[in-house]
A and B are shown apart, each in its own frame.
Chain A
Amino acid sequence: MDATTPAALVAARKRRPLRARDVAPYVFVSPFFILFAVFGLFPLLFSAWLAVHEWDPAEGLKAMHFVGLENFRFVLTDPWFHRAVGNTLWLSVATALPQHLVALPLAAFVHEKIRRGRDLVVGAYFVPYITSSVAIALIFSTLLSRDYGAVNALLAELTRVPLLGSFMPDHPIDWLGDAHYAKPTVAFVVFWRYLGWNTVLYLSALQTISPELNEAATLDGASPVRRFFHVTVPLLRPMIYFAVTLSIIGSLQLFEEPFILVDIEQGVSQSVMTLAIFMYRLAFGEGDFGAASAVSWLVFALIVALAWLNARLFGREGRGE
């Protein structure tokens, strides 16, 4: 057999001792795979394993008992789980919907009207997104304090204004301590925090739209509002699809804001208990890691279902197909 035929080459390569050059590419790509295996794949598989076991971690790894789907039955029949689902969906709608309804026209306005200092304006909207949660918690709990907060002090001042005063509450509002106000207050903080992020997403998409399209529409006599709804919004559909998907995922995993704003030891914390907080409490408060893992898989199923619904709503156009 000729030494240059492919089969011979393969055979020759097999015989050859392994050289550093052969191994190097695998070594170079290995950090990702090692990190992914340890911090991505293993926790995923472990949580699936845990979801079908009873396990209190304080009892050690040996204390796991296989319980089949019992954790799922337990979670699905738990009144706090139902409440957490309700709270999460409520907060998702109350935070995501205004975010997009405000971010979209805001991005269009910044794109059209602000030329000088645009980066500064965009930066100002983006700052909350990159601010540390601890700083946000400190500032908002100070501003919203019932007896000593600036917001209530302002409302108290406004009661003195004729006409407007009659619309103001006659007693200080317990923004974060009263179940009626805690949820809208948390929703506002989430809205405030992610508005800039969505604005930047839409602004970047707007910059890719050819100005000629808008110019042509203007020549045809379209008003700015008509241009926004009939030229800009349809062309933004892929970005809207992307941004809404991110919001769905983010909302269903909402944890930080309600957790830091309302102390878990307060009775009112129940009214802002999201699925992620419920999961945390089951695991770290009650030591029930099995049930907590079952919750995490149920949240995953919910995210998949809503993301699928979103894809159906925005259709192929939404995905730019």
Chain B
Amino acid sequence: MKRRRFAASLGSCLLGRLGAAPAQGVETTLVVASFPDLDRAAQAARAQWARRHPDIEIKLVSRQIADHHTAMTTALATGAGLPDVMALDFRFVGKFGASGGLENLAGPPYDGMALRERFERYAFTQAINKKGELTTLPTDIGPGTLLYRKDLFDQAGVGEAELTASWDSYLAAGRKLKAATGAYLLGDASDLRDILLRAGLHDGEGLYFDADGHVLVESARFVRAFEMSLQAHRDGIEGRAQPWSNDWVAGLKRGRIATQLMGAWLTGHLRNWIAPDQAGRWRSAPLPGGAFASYGGSFYAIPKQAQHKALAWEFVKLLCADREVQLQSLRVLDSFPALLEAQQDASMAAPIPYLGGQRARVMWRDIAAKVPAIPVNRYDAVATDVIRDAFEQVVSQGVAVRDALRDARVLIEHRARWR
């Protein structure tokens, strides 16, 4: 009897706790799932949000970038633990956008398409899936730039014009640099390969797949990218150090790597932790040969099974389409705004001390405007893996470029089986 009474009291206690929550009228909580450093943008936007909705709390769930996307995959799979607002890195936009698990922000009750003209054209195109649904909204972008060590190139007697005139002159400058200073032109030949794959693309052209889903990896664009990158490897002007590896960080720190083709956001990483003591020695230039490309970018989406969709949409618009919040992200994260109004702000013309006082953001803005709008494909990540492997076969196994690319096409066609 005692036991039964205990069980009953425990039960009523638990029920009481659960039942008490709505009764007390605690405010609604909007769950936002993000990853570092992007989470700092949502954190910083809390103040603006609180002014609009003092009764609605923002709960920020932040995981490391890989864990975040795995957790979101699991949440979409099971329908459990889904946030109201989901941050997505560019690499996952194609896959998640095609999944059918995200709200179409183009249709009612959303007014996503009305925002189109306010965003950088290419980033907005990336947010649209194959079916024409707007599944995400871009928040920051990565206009591609050539960051280079001016002091090292001065020693080698190479000016910026010579460095960026064409891809051939870029590689020739690398050979001069190696002879004069011993420094590598590139961290890794694959950096060159990846940018050359994107160079010369036009609006609507896919990177690996055309509009009908045909695999494009045997085209002249791929052959040229492979051959030039192989040449850089043979010339010994690449350090075989993949971006973000220990060797790459050490190479940049010690001045062994003299240029990096990357999104403009790399400047923030260089300044904050990779090479803070090299302020004034780096410069930013347009990509060689008149190429325009983008590196990465961040997006926000609303899952179909989100609890508070209307509020989520309001928060997404606050993060992406509010000029003040976008500029705040620029200050907090050094991220480049996807919103055109924010790009027109006077602060964009401020000199950047780390780049020797260069007014680089204006240049990055011009680059961003010229980046072609390339549609994403759900199998882009698969194709990236296959192409990476094909290039390794060429570099270390001596496989002929055309043979490696033919094998790559066969493999991508095999892998993309549910097209």
As a 0/1 sequence over residues 71 to 88 of chain B, the CB contacts with chain A under 8 angstroms (1 = contact) are 011101111000000000
Closest-by-CB residue of A relative to B250 is A148
**Would A174 and B99 be within 8 Å (CB), given that A79-B411, A267-B392 are in contact?**
no
Find chain A residues with CB under 8 A from B72 CB: 58
Once the chains bind, are B396 and A146 in contact (CB under 8 Å)?
Answer: no
Decide if A128 is an interface residue (CB 8 Å cutoff): no
Q: Which residues of A127-169 have CB atoms within 8 Å of chain B's CB atoms?
A: 141-142, 145-148
Decide if A98 is an interface residue (CB 8 Å cutoff): no
Decide if A263 is an interface residue (CB 8 Å cutoff): yes
- The residue that B246 contacts in the complex, of A61, A141, A265, A266, with Cβ under 8 A, is A141
Find chain B residues with CB under 8 A from A317 CB: none
- The residue that A270 contacts in the complex, of B246, B247, B392, B414, with Cβ under 8 A, is B392
Q: Which residues of A65-99 have CB atoms within 8 Å of chain B's CB atoms?
A: 74, 77-80
- The residue that B96 contacts in the complex, of A58, A63, A141, A174, with Cβ under 8 A, is A58
Closest-by-CB residue of B relative to A57 is B77
| Cα–Cα, bound, A268→B241 (Å) | 12
- The residue that B95 contacts in the complex, of A54, A270, A287, with Cβ under 8 A, is A287
- The residue that A60 contacts in the complex, of B3, B100, B247, with Cβ under 8 A, is B100
| Cα–Cα, bound, A149→B23 (Å) | 63
Q: Which residues of A239-293 have CB atoms within 8 Å of chain B's CB atoms?
A: 263, 265-268, 270, 281, 284-287
Minimum Cβ distance to chain B for residue A37 (Å)? 18
Decide if B395 is an interface residue (CB 8 Å cutoff): yes
Find chain B residues with CB under 8 A from A56 CB: 99, 418
Once the chains bind, are B415 and A286 in contact (CB under 8 Å)?
Answer: yes
Once the chains bind, are A59 and B381 in contact (CB under 8 Å)?
Answer: no
- The residue that B247 contacts in the complex, of A61, A147, A180, A265, with Cβ under 8 A, is A147
| Cα–Cα, bound, A57→B80 (Å) | 12
Number of interface residues of B (CB under 8 A): 41
Decide if A177 is an interface residue (CB 8 Å cutoff): yes
Once the chains bind, are A148 and B247 in contact (CB under 8 Å)?
Answer: yes
Minimum Cβ distance to chain A for residue B70 (Å)? 6
Once the chains bind, are B190 and A267 in contact (CB under 8 Å)?
Answer: yes
Decide if A222 is an interface residue (CB 8 Å cutoff): no
**Would A177 and B240 be within 8 Å (CB), given that A57-B76, A267-B392 are in contact?**
yes
Minimum Cβ distance to chain A for residue B75 (Å)? 9
Once the chains bind, are A145 and B246 in contact (CB under 8 Å)?
Answer: yes
Find chain B residues with CB under 8 A from A177 CB: 240-241, 247
Decide if A178 is an interface residue (CB 8 Å cutoff): yes
| Cα–Cα, bound, A99→B281 (Å) | 51
Decide if A235 is an interface residue (CB 8 Å cutoff): no
Decide if A179 is an interface residue (CB 8 Å cutoff): yes
**Surface stretch bound by A, among B145-153, B154-162, B206-214, B383-391:** B383-391
Decide if B101 is an interface residue (CB 8 Å cutoff): yes
Query: Per DSSP, are chain B's interface residues mostly helix, strand or loop, or mixed?
Result: helix
Decide if B228 is an interface residue (CB 8 Å cutoff): no
Decide if B397 is an interface residue (CB 8 Å cutoff): yes
Find chain B residues with CB under 8 A from A141 CB: 246
Minimum Cβ distance to chain B for residue A38 (Å)? 14
Once the chains bind, are B99 and A59 in contact (CB under 8 Å)?
Answer: yes
Find chain A residues with CB under 8 A from B397 CB: 179
Point out which of B3, B239, B246 has the most chain A C-beta atoms below 10 A from its C-beta: B246
Q: Which residues of A157-216 have CB atoms within 8 Å of chain B's CB atoms?
A: 174, 177-180
Once the chains bind, are B239 and A268 in contact (CB under 8 Å)?
Answer: no
| Cα–Cα, bound, A20→B3 (Å) | 11
Find chain A residues with CB under 8 A from B407 CB: 79
- The residue that A58 contacts in the complex, of B76, B251, B385, with Cβ under 8 A, is B76
Once the chains bind, are B382 and A286 in contact (CB under 8 Å)?
Answer: yes
Once the chains bind, are A268 and B414 in contact (CB under 8 Å)?
Answer: no
**Would A285 and B381 be within 8 Å (CB), given that A141-B246, A142-B246 are in contact?**
yes
Minimum Cβ distance to chain A for residue B416 (Å)? 9
**Would A57 and B73 be within 8 Å (CB), given that A146-B240, A270-B392 are in contact?**
yes
Once the chains bind, are A284 and B100 in contact (CB under 8 Å)?
Answer: no
Decide if B417 is an interface residue (CB 8 Å cutoff): yes
Once the chains bind, are B76 and A265 in contact (CB under 8 Å)?
Answer: no
Q: A57-B74, A147-B251 are in contact. List 13 more A-B contacts (CB 8 A).
A: A56-B99, A58-B72, A58-B95, A59-B99, A60-B99, A61-B77, A79-B407, A79-B414, A263-B242, A266-B245, A267-B391, A267-B392, A284-B73
In order of increasing CB-CB distance, the 5 nearest A-B pairs are A267-B392, A57-B77, A58-B99, A179-B396, A59-B99
Q: List 26 A-B contacts (CB under 8 A).
A: A56-B418, A57-B77, A58-B95, A58-B99, A59-B100, A77-B414, A78-B411, A79-B407, A79-B411, A145-B250, A147-B239, A147-B241, A174-B240, A178-B396, A263-B245, A265-B242, A266-B245, A266-B392, A267-B190, A267-B391, A267-B395, A270-B389, A281-B385, A284-B70, A285-B382, A286-B381
